[in-house]
Amino acid sequence: MAEYGSDHYVSFNYTTGVSVELTRTQRASSLYLAPTLASGAPLLYKRAELIVPTVTDFADNDILALCDMASGDRIHEMFVSINAGFVATQTANLGLYEAGDGAVGTVIEEDLFTSAVDIGTATTDRVSQFLEAGNLTDEDRGRPLWALAALGAASYTEDPHIDMTIAYTLASEEIATAAVAQILLEVFYVAAR
Protein backbone atom coordinates (compact mmCIF):
# COMPACT_ATOMS: atom_id res chain seq x y z
CA MET A 1 0.00 0.00 0.00
CA ALA A 2 1.38 3.40 -0.97
CA GLU A 3 0.51 6.83 0.38
CA TYR A 4 0.37 10.06 -1.59
CA GLY A 5 0.01 13.54 -0.05
CA SER A 6 -1.70 16.69 -1.31
CA ASP A 7 -0.24 20.20 -1.30
CA HIS A 8 -1.52 20.43 2.28
CA TYR A 9 1.60 18.42 3.18
CA VAL A 10 4.10 19.37 0.46
CA SER A 11 4.66 22.50 -1.59
CA PHE A 12 5.52 21.63 -5.20
CA ASN A 13 7.54 24.14 -7.21
CA TYR A 14 6.50 23.67 -10.84
CA THR A 15 9.43 25.72 -12.13
CA THR A 16 12.14 23.60 -10.51
CA GLY A 17 10.15 20.38 -10.12
CA VAL A 18 11.14 20.15 -6.44
CA SER A 19 8.78 19.24 -3.59
CA VAL A 20 9.29 20.76 -0.13
CA GLU A 21 7.62 19.27 2.96
CA LEU A 22 5.54 21.84 4.86
CA THR A 23 5.66 22.23 8.64
CA ARG A 24 2.47 22.12 10.73
CA THR A 25 2.69 25.95 11.09
CA GLN A 26 2.93 26.42 7.33
CA ARG A 27 -0.07 24.08 6.86
CA ALA A 28 -2.11 26.13 9.33
CA SER A 29 -1.26 29.34 7.43
CA SER A 30 -2.95 27.93 4.33
CA LEU A 31 -6.39 28.63 5.87
CA TYR A 32 -8.61 31.32 4.41
CA LEU A 33 -11.36 33.21 6.24
CA ALA A 34 -14.83 32.97 4.77
CA PRO A 35 -18.14 34.53 5.91
CA THR A 36 -19.26 34.01 9.51
CA LEU A 37 -22.22 31.88 10.59
CA ALA A 38 -25.32 33.35 12.25
CA SER A 39 -23.77 32.39 15.61
CA GLY A 40 -20.85 34.71 14.86
CA ALA A 41 -18.37 31.83 14.53
CA PRO A 42 -16.06 32.28 11.54
CA LEU A 43 -16.63 29.74 8.78
CA LEU A 44 -13.17 28.76 7.58
CA TYR A 45 -12.17 27.43 4.19
CA LYS A 46 -9.48 24.82 3.64
CA ARG A 47 -8.31 23.91 0.16
CA ALA A 48 -6.09 20.91 -0.56
CA GLU A 49 -4.93 19.92 -4.02
CA LEU A 50 -3.29 16.60 -4.88
CA ILE A 51 -1.42 16.67 -8.17
CA VAL A 52 0.22 13.61 -9.68
CA PRO A 53 2.70 15.32 -12.06
CA THR A 54 3.69 12.22 -14.09
CA VAL A 55 2.25 8.83 -15.00
CA THR A 56 1.78 6.92 -11.73
CA ASP A 57 0.53 3.40 -11.07
CA PHE A 58 -1.95 3.16 -8.22
CA ALA A 59 -3.09 -0.04 -6.53
CA ASP A 60 -6.08 -1.15 -4.48
CA ASN A 61 -5.93 0.35 -0.95
CA ASP A 62 -3.43 3.10 -1.84
CA ILE A 63 -4.16 6.22 0.22
CA LEU A 64 -4.40 9.74 -1.19
CA ALA A 65 -4.06 12.00 1.88
CA LEU A 66 -5.73 15.36 1.28
CA CYS A 67 -5.64 17.37 4.53
CA ASP A 68 -5.52 17.24 8.32
CA MET A 69 -8.20 18.66 10.60
CA ALA A 70 -8.62 18.77 14.38
CA SER A 71 -11.04 16.22 15.83
CA GLY A 72 -13.13 19.09 17.23
CA ASP A 73 -13.48 20.94 13.89
CA ARG A 74 -17.07 21.17 12.66
CA ILE A 75 -17.50 20.52 8.92
CA HIS A 76 -20.44 22.22 7.20
CA GLU A 77 -19.68 21.27 3.59
CA MET A 78 -17.02 19.65 1.47
CA PHE A 79 -16.58 19.63 -2.30
CA VAL A 80 -14.30 17.59 -4.54
CA SER A 81 -13.19 18.38 -8.08
CA ILE A 82 -11.26 15.81 -10.14
CA ASN A 83 -9.80 16.19 -13.60
CA ALA A 84 -9.85 13.37 -16.14
CA GLY A 85 -6.25 12.40 -15.35
CA PHE A 86 -7.11 8.91 -14.14
CA VAL A 87 -7.05 6.79 -17.28
CA ALA A 88 -9.03 3.76 -16.09
CA THR A 89 -12.18 3.27 -14.07
CA GLN A 90 -11.20 3.82 -10.46
CA THR A 91 -13.38 3.92 -7.36
CA ALA A 92 -12.41 5.37 -4.01
CA ASN A 93 -13.75 5.92 -0.52
CA LEU A 94 -13.38 9.31 1.19
CA GLY A 95 -12.96 8.98 4.93
CA LEU A 96 -10.90 9.62 8.05
CA TYR A 97 -7.59 8.39 9.40
CA GLU A 98 -5.65 9.42 12.48
CA ALA A 99 -2.97 11.86 11.38
CA GLY A 100 0.38 10.13 11.48
CA ASP A 101 3.86 11.55 11.87
CA GLY A 102 4.88 12.00 8.25
CA ALA A 103 2.34 9.43 7.06
CA VAL A 104 -1.32 8.56 7.44
CA GLY A 105 -2.07 6.85 10.76
CA THR A 106 -4.67 4.27 11.75
CA VAL A 107 -7.94 4.18 9.82
CA ILE A 108 -10.91 5.68 11.71
CA GLU A 109 -13.66 5.34 9.10
CA GLU A 110 -12.52 4.71 5.52
CA ASP A 111 -15.83 5.57 3.85
CA LEU A 112 -17.42 8.13 6.17
CA PHE A 113 -18.07 10.66 3.38
CA THR A 114 -18.10 8.63 0.15
CA SER A 115 -18.24 4.94 -0.68
CA ALA A 116 -16.93 3.48 -3.95
CA VAL A 117 -17.24 6.77 -5.86
CA ASP A 118 -16.03 6.66 -9.47
CA ILE A 119 -13.04 9.01 -9.73
CA GLY A 120 -11.63 7.57 -12.93
CA THR A 121 -13.87 8.07 -15.93
CA ALA A 122 -14.61 11.76 -16.29
CA THR A 123 -14.03 15.23 -14.94
CA THR A 124 -15.87 15.97 -11.71
CA ASP A 125 -16.59 19.64 -11.10
CA ARG A 126 -17.14 20.67 -7.47
CA VAL A 127 -19.40 17.86 -6.28
CA SER A 128 -20.57 17.81 -2.66
CA GLN A 129 -19.12 14.85 -0.78
CA PHE A 130 -20.59 15.27 2.71
CA LEU A 131 -23.66 13.05 2.26
CA GLU A 132 -22.69 10.67 -0.56
CA ALA A 133 -21.97 7.50 1.47
CA GLY A 134 -25.28 7.68 3.32
CA ASN A 135 -23.57 7.62 6.73
CA LEU A 136 -24.39 11.30 7.36
CA THR A 137 -27.48 13.50 6.99
CA ASP A 138 -28.03 17.25 6.73
CA GLU A 139 -28.56 17.30 10.50
CA ASP A 140 -24.94 16.16 10.92
CA ARG A 141 -23.53 19.32 9.34
CA GLY A 142 -21.67 21.28 12.00
CA ARG A 143 -21.08 18.34 14.33
CA PRO A 144 -17.50 17.88 15.53
CA LEU A 145 -15.42 15.59 13.34
CA TRP A 146 -15.03 13.03 16.17
CA ALA A 147 -18.85 12.86 16.49
CA LEU A 148 -19.20 12.27 12.75
CA ALA A 149 -16.66 9.45 13.02
CA ALA A 150 -18.66 7.98 15.91
CA LEU A 151 -21.69 7.77 13.59
CA GLY A 152 -19.61 5.37 11.51
CA ALA A 153 -17.36 2.64 12.89
CA ALA A 154 -15.44 4.74 15.43
CA SER A 155 -16.32 4.43 19.11
CA TYR A 156 -15.57 7.94 20.38
CA THR A 157 -17.75 9.22 23.26
CA GLU A 158 -15.86 12.50 23.62
CA ASP A 159 -13.33 14.58 21.70
CA PRO A 160 -9.98 12.70 21.64
CA HIS A 161 -8.17 15.98 20.79
CA ILE A 162 -6.22 14.51 17.90
CA ASP A 163 -5.61 15.51 14.31
CA MET A 164 -7.46 13.50 11.68
CA THR A 165 -6.60 13.11 8.00
CA ILE A 166 -9.26 13.30 5.29
CA ALA A 167 -8.13 10.86 2.61
CA TYR A 168 -9.25 8.86 -0.39
CA THR A 169 -8.60 5.12 -0.16
CA LEU A 170 -8.58 3.51 -3.58
CA ALA A 171 -11.14 0.73 -3.67
CA SER A 172 -10.66 -0.99 -7.01
CA GLU A 173 -8.13 -2.44 -9.42
CA GLU A 174 -4.67 -1.11 -10.09
CA ILE A 175 -4.64 1.75 -12.55
CA ALA A 176 -2.26 4.25 -14.06
CA THR A 177 -2.75 7.98 -14.40
CA ALA A 178 -2.34 10.13 -17.47
CA ALA A 179 0.52 12.64 -17.43
CA VAL A 180 -1.28 14.78 -14.83
CA ALA A 181 -4.02 13.75 -12.42
CA GLN A 182 -5.52 16.25 -10.03
CA ILE A 183 -7.90 16.11 -7.04
CA LEU A 184 -9.08 19.29 -5.30
CA LEU A 185 -10.80 19.11 -1.89
CA GLU A 186 -12.56 22.17 -0.44
CA VAL A 187 -13.79 22.06 3.17
CA PHE A 188 -15.97 24.70 4.88
CA TYR A 189 -15.78 24.34 8.65
CA VAL A 190 -15.63 26.01 12.06
CA ALA A 191 -12.31 25.47 13.83
CA ALA A 192 -12.16 23.92 17.28
CA ARG A 193 -9.03 25.82 18.24
Local mean pLDDT, 10-residue blocks, the chain (193 residues): 58 44 45 50 78 72 88 92 72 89 84 85 78 89 92 87 91 68 87 79
pTM: 0.76
What is d(CA 61, CA 112) in angstroms, rounded to the nearest whole number? 16
DSSP 177: B
What is d(CA 171, CA 177) in angstroms, rounded to the nearest whole number? 15
Name the domain count of the chain. 1
pLDDT tens by residue, 80-128 = 888 766 656 678 899 999 998 777 889 999 999 998 887 776 567 888 8
What string of DSSP letters covers 1-51?
Answer: --EEE-TTTEEEETTTTEEEEPPHHHHHTT-EEEEEPTTS-EEEEEEEEEE
Q: Tell me which residue range forms the domain holding 87.
A: 3-190
**Residue 157 burial (10 A CB sphere; 0-12, 13-18, 19+):** exposed
